[in-house]
Amino acid sequence: MLRTLTTFSLLLVGFRAAGAQAANSFAGSNLYYAAGLYDDDRTTLLEGLQSAGMKVLRVWLDGQSETQKGTNISPFPDLEPTQICDGVASCYNDTVLERLDDFMVAANSYGIKLLIDMHSYNALAAGDVYGAAYGIEDFYTDSDAQSAFDQRLIHVVNHVHTTLGQPWKELNDYIFGFEAENEAMIGDGQTFIEDHQQWQCDRATTIKGQLGGNSGILVMTGGESWMAESVQPDFLSCDALDVISIHAYGTGDYDTSSIESYVSQAQSAGKMLIMEEWGACYFNTSNNDCPTGAPLASDTRNANIKQWAGTITAAGLPWLYWEVIPNADPHWGSDYEIGLVDDPSWSTLQDVAQAALGATAAFDFSPYLL
């Protein structure tokens, strides 16, 4: 009997291991201003991402009125253009949500889901309605700011899709995940983030409270500036968070063995990790400080892309590139972009993204992908 049980247990362990090994990785991209794309650029982008086997596109809600990275923008306002709306439905301007309604239907037809950041540190720092009222520190500590911001999150996830007729929180065929804010708290430094980890969990609890436990949509953090800042112990122990998002541009954070130490922490905590933002600088500066400089030789940049995508994938992390753009890259400052028009690095990025799709992941994201 004992022997039988032992054999049975070993078999179970074997099946579990086989199950874990069966999960494949994937790649995707970011385009913060996707809601501003004209139809022809949207088609170029989605065809391009699909040709690379990319599965997820991360987008933000910040209003845009001017050309971004050489991409023409159809202008749209902030969700809260003139005042903090605090849950008053008629006060929000839903234009950005309606733009993304169309975008997510188009993306779905290319096998791509959206990852939606419902606010960004960038908008706060640029003095949007929250920045104007609270500044970049009190926004995270003032209880009125927190409750008004929670109302924004509730408004977004309950937005009823204009053609599908269901609220976003039910659209798991179109939406991969929700994040409260891109890079929350980064302007206040790593110590502030460490001291205010609860902010992330409180916002995630608000989001999860709307989604419920079986929405098929992931609740994620939105990343910080580098690996050690992005992965905080109280994020790993927060019930409402499914995925800890990592943003990293320093090349040490791309080392397989370094990433693996975070992977094992996440696995022990029952959380998943994603390299949600990474990129290879176009210039010959340090990779994590890429304002301007002399262009790297294409072969050198392509070797960087190949190496870093390879080490991230080898550690079992899916990744989203910052960023694939639907036009020729004008090489403005802080240039990690790869253009879908005439860019000598696009075929390299396609290759490494396809390789991710065929590689083993440390986490099983397959139920959340098309």
Binding residues vs ligand NAG (CB under 6 A): 77, 93, 95, 284-285, 293-294
**Smallest gap from residue 282 Cβ to ligand NAG (A):** 12
Look at the chain and count its residues. 370
Q: Which residues pair with 320 in a beta bridge?
A: 28
Distance CA 154, CA 159 (A): 9
If the CB atoms of residues 47 and 289 are measured against ligand NAG, the closer one turns out to be: 289
Instruction: Give the nearest residue (CB) to ligand NAG.
Output: 294
**Smallest gap from residue 76 Cβ to ligand NAG (A):** 7
Q: Which two tokens stand for residue 318?
A: 């899916």
Q: Which two tokens stand for residue 77?
A: 């306002």
**Smallest gap from residue 297 Cβ to ligand NAG (A):** 10
Q: Which residue do the tokens 């987008």 mark?
A: 59
Distance CA 116, CA 120 (A): 11
Question: Is the separation of the CB atoms in 45 and 326 below 8 Å?
Answer: yes
**Smallest gap from residue 239 Cβ to ligand NAG (A):** 36
If the CB atoms of residues 198 and 284 are measured against ligand NAG, the closer one turns out to be: 284
Backbone φ, ψ for residue 356 (5° rounding): -60, -40
If the CB atoms of residues 74 and 147 are measured against ligand NAG, the closer one turns out to be: 74
Distance CA 306, CA 350 (A): 10
Q: Which two tokens stand for residue 209?
A: 């409270």
**Smallest gap from residue 79 Cβ to ligand NAG (A):** 10
If the CB atoms of residues 187 and 293 are measured against ligand NAG, the closer one turns out to be: 293
Q: Which two tokens stand for residue 207?
A: 């989001």
If the CB atoms of residues 72 and 190 are measured against ligand NAG, the closer one turns out to be: 72
**Smallest gap from residue 63 Cβ to ligand NAG (A):** 8
If the CB atoms of residues 93 and 205 are measured against ligand NAG, the closer one turns out to be: 93
DSSP letters for 169-229: GG-TTTEEEEES-BTTTGGG-HHHHHHTHHHHHHHHHHHHHHH-TT-S-EEE----SSHHH
**Smallest gap from residue 77 Cβ to ligand NAG (A):** 5
If the CB atoms of residues 221 and 287 are measured against ligand NAG, the closer one turns out to be: 287
Question: Is the separation of the CB atoms in 149 and 203 below 8 Å?
Answer: yes
